[in-house]
Amino acid sequence: MDLLIKNKTHRVAEGITSIAPFSETILKYIGFDILYLCKGDTFSLVKKNVETAVVLFYGRCSIKVNGLYYENLGPRYSIFEQNPTAVYIPVNEEFTVEALDDVEVGLCYARSDKKKNPFIVRPDDIVYREIGKDNFVRKVRDIISESHDVDKLYLGETISLNGNWSSFPPHKHDRDMFPIETKLEEIYHFRIDPPQGFCIQRIYTKEKDIDETYTVENYDSVLIPKGYHPQVSCPGYKEYYLWILGGEKRQYRLFEDDNHSWIDK
């Protein structure tokens, strides 16, 4: 099972680059695209039975949805140093992105049949956490969490520095065993600074029906349908990844690999 989506920076129809479409065999609940627009361009989209979070990666934009006009979002010119802005788009609602500069946004999707209300998450709203210790400390920015009134989506950003490990000790969330563990699919989308760097991603299950290790480069993405998923960046480089979670139950409860959980004690 190939779970690595290699670098896709070229533009396709109407500025959308498809990264991780819905699939009955790999990712049933969540998906991810990137939208690129030149200054002055606009783009409109409606997703049926899909809720969407628009996350600003780069530039400035305005977003219209359901009679609301979120103006002059950004600027964001460094995903490593600046917090994101995000707008939540309910199911079956058309939204329009207007590029005030050259702009790049992530479109984070989750299948849903529940109509919620649109809202904006501004940089000052971001919940910041520093988790781990030693050489597996990392910075986490929660964008949409359990505190938000959405149906399936849960997403944020993680920054790891200078060869540190992340998603460590190895954890998973692929069983419906609340409150011990919840079953959630996940997507990682990576950026590396400087861009010639790389990181190593492993995805494995206890039974080893999945046991894959990938060299991940700038703009690569990784699909995580199940299993433990630790990764490490190479020394001297900053690593960023956007993470998107979704499943039947919208609670985040992870389960650590018993062989390695002692490290976090």
DSSP bridge partners of 87: 54, 120
The two three-digit tokens of residue 124, written as one number: 């000052």
The two three-digit tokens of residue 11, written as one number: 């533009």
DSSP bridge partners of 84: none
Sheet holding 211-217, edge to edge: 165-166, 231-233, 198-204, 211-217
Q: What is the pLDDT of residues 76-105, one digit of tens each?
A: 999 999 999 999 999 999 999 999 999 999
Average pLDDT over the chain reads 94
Residue 246 belongs to what domain range? 4-264
Tally the domains of the chain.
1
* Helix, strand or coil, per DSSP, at residue 136: helix
Q: What is the CATH number of the domain that holds 95?
A: 2.60.120.10
Mean pLDDT throughout 228-246? 97
Residue 108 in this model has a pLDDT that exceeds 90: yes
Q: What is the pLDDT of residues 133-183, one digit of tens each?
A: 999 999 999 999 999 999 999 999 999 988 999 999 999 999 999 999 999
Which among 97, 96, 98, 113 has a CA at the least distance from the CA of 51? Answer: 113
Q: What is the pLDDT of residues 27-58, one digit of tens each?
A: 999 999 999 999 999 999 999 999 999 999 99
Residue 10 in this model has a pLDDT that exceeds 60: no
Instruction: Tell whether the torsion through CA atoms of 72, 77, 83 and 84 is positive or negative.
Output: positive
Provide the pLDDT for residue 162: 87
What whole-number percentage of the chain has pLDDT above 70? 98
Q: How far apart are the C-alpha atoms of 229 and 63, rounded to whole Å?
A: 34
Q: What is the pLDDT of residues 59-79, one digit of tens each?
A: 999 999 999 999 999 999 999
Provide the pLDDT for residue 126: 95
Provide the pLDDT for residue 191: 96
Phi, psi of 123 (to 5 degrees): -55, -35
Provide the pLDDT for residue 9: 65
Q: With bands split at pLDDT 50, 70 and 90, how would you rate the model's confidence at 13? A: very low
Hunting for tokens 């977003």 — which residue is that?
Answer: 63
Which among 132, 128, 130 has a CA at the least distance from the CA of 143? Answer: 128
Q: What is the pLDDT of residues 182-229, one digit of tens each?
A: 999 999 999 999 999 999 999 999 999 999 999 999 999 999 999 999
CA dist 28 to 78, 109, 150, 162, Å? 32, 11, 18, 34
